[in-house]
Amino acid sequence: MVSLLAAVLMISPAGPTDPMPRAMVEQGVLVGREAEGVRSFKGVPYARPPVGELRWRAPRPAEGWNGQRDAGQVGAICIQPPANGDNGVGPLPMSEDCLTLNVWAPPEGARDQTAPLPVMVWIHGGGLNNGSGTAALYDGTRLARRGVVVVTINYRLGRLGFFDHPALAAEREPGEPAANYGLMDVVAALEWVRDNAAVFGGDPGNVTIFGESAGGALVTRLMIAGPARGLFHRAVVQSGLGRDEGTPLDRPRRDGGPSMQARGTTFAQAHGAETAEQLRAIPAESLLRPAPNFYGGDLLVEDGRYVTETVEAAFAAGREAPVPLIIGTNSAEFWWMKPSDLSPYGALDDAMTDEERSAFLGAYGGQDGYDAHVLSDLVFNEPARRLARLHARNGHPTYLYRFDVVSAAMPEPHAGATHASERQYVFDNLTASPWPTAEMDQRQADALAGYWTSFATKGDPNGGRRQAWPEFGSEPDRLLEFTNDGPVAKPVPFGERLDLIEAYYARVR
């Protein structure tokens, strides 16, 4: 491992005639860039390209290189279908060779050399089918200027990232991990961060993982995955589900859905593939057809090693990582969807008793209110409260939030913060917002970025002159709501609705 002295020397500019910063990581020398007082190193391989015989294999350590490697441009995004304009997808090209990460570090003179900086590792969302760590939305410059080292990563997606087939199972060695290749990639990236954080002035003993949507679901899996234990020390879950059950490796789902191997068999038959060799010969782009007809929570697999149980069950038993946690949701997550629009939630109505149905309609103010809000509560709001309650009960610092910032330019008809709309505020990257922003938006971005970086620094988002954020263990069922007028500490909104959902889950499970 590179010594701290060498790290300090190698990140410094080479001389007055060459302003580009260098960093000596374990694989070799990187040549980065400096802009706005922040040093960046992009397109850095953290694992070998998962191609050929390494397709559907656990990631292998990145190979070294001779000389200096240019780290001025982001790498290729992972194979994925079109993302319908989501600004969380980075620029082309797209390639199966995509296991790279990007690092932003504060300027050398802006920090105390004796005090390593907290590290924040971003795990992007996109339903485990789309997204990348290379999008302008996730540029780490403005967070790094607050005194943290920011890392964004790519991981395998869709059928390349979450897949199995009996032919692949037959060739695996006993105990070899399977199916959750995208999750394995994230663990490999965290191992790279552990081994190289000091090179960039970061503290490998103070790593915060933060992710949104499917990235948040990956954060919760990392909290219960044995191979990830000790690789991070704080966690942030942004709209990261919580009661999703994933898909078993080789047995049917509890709701009767097929196992991951059964899905793989169906796909392989459609492409005339029976052997592992034939599967690996399928062109990567062909793995996108037909498009997956399931959402991200279904893709994560109970593989027996990385994921052995549901997140809710692990938290209920106190088996999650004992780290400080921020968890929360947006106020109008899936405002445009009904339960029947998203498997497996369409079964909710059929499973309800008449008494439950009456209570739900009363709590939601009738059918229209139920249709507009129950899916967001089922998928995001109640599970976040449930995990916050369990984590706090287990004695770990826990902070619950609700994001309700709505830019004046945000399109109607929804009233509230839609799914994923907090990302540009967390990164303080309003220039990447899909709609125009104003002074109010910048104030709220300053607030979120401040809370998140304070949490990364000391495991507590509070400090300075910011509104105090209630700790869930000492102030149960109170959260911090981010509004257009600033943060407000208050009881969890719509508790009656969430109580009904919690009781429903307790009955059907």
CA distance 18 to 103: 20
CA distance 15 to 311: 51
358 part of the active site? no
DSSP 343-368: TTTTHHHHH--HHHHHHHHHHTTSHH
- Residue 16: beta bridge partners? none
* Amino acid at the residue 198: A
What phi and psi values does residue 491 have, to the nearest 5 degrees? -65, 155
Whether the CB-CB separation of 32 and 22 falls below 8 Å is answered with yes
419 part of the active site? yes
Residues in the chain: 509
Active-site entry in 376, 382, 419, 471: 419
Residues 6 or more apart whose Cβ sits within 8 Å of residue 401: 326, 327, 328, 329, 469, 479, 480, 481, 482
The alpha carbon torsion through 257, 258, 260, 261 (nearest 10 deg) reads 170
Active-site entry in 96, 165, 212, 213: 213
Active-site entry in 96, 302, 312, 333: 333
Whether the CB-CB separation of 261 and 167 falls below 8 Å is answered with no
**468's tokens:** 């105090």
CA distance 22 to 199: 10
Report the relative pairing of strands 325-330 and 301-302 from DSSP bridges: unpaired
Q: Quickly tell me which residue has 């009767």 as its tokens.
A: 256
Instruction: Give catalytic residues, as residue numbers.
Output: 213, 333, 419
